[in-house]
Chain A
Amino acid sequence: DVKVTQSSRYLVKRTGEKVFLECVQDMDHENMFWYRQDPGLGLRLIYFSYDVKMKEKGDIPEGYSVSREKKERFSLILESASTNQTSMYLCASSPLPGRAPYEQYFGPGTRLTVT
Chain B
Amino acid sequence: LAKTTQPISMDSYEGQEVNITCSHNNIATNDYITWYQQFPSQGPRFIIQGYKTKVTNEVASLFIPADRKSSTLSLPRVSLSDTAVYYCLVGAPMTTDSWGKFQFGAGTQVVVTP
Contact = CB atoms under 8 A, between A and B. Distances in A.
Interface of A: 4, 31, 40-45, 48, 50, 56, 59, 90-92, 94, 96-98, 100-109
Nearest to B88: A42
Given A42-B107, A48-B99, A101-B92, A92 B32 contact: no
Interface residues on B, range: 20 to 34
Contacts of B107: 42
A100 to B, nearest CB: 5
Contacts of B46: 100, 103-105
A101 B42 contact: no
Contacts of B95: 96-97
Contacts of A59: 103
20 contacts: A4-B43, A42-B106, A43-B104, A45-B102, A45-B103, A92-B43, A94-B94, A97-B95, A98-B93, A101-B34, A101-B93, A102-B89, A102-B102, A103-B34, A103-B46, A104-B44, A104-B46, A107-B43, A108-B41, A108-B43
Contacts of B41: 108-109
Given A101-B34, A102-B32, A43 B96 contact: no
Given A50-B99, A96-B94, A96-B96, A101 B43 contact: no
A97 B94 contact: yes
Contact of B94 (A43, A101, A105, A108): A101
B102 A56 contact: no
A42 B49 contact: no
A85 to B, nearest CB: 19
A103 B87 contact: no
A42 B105 contact: yes
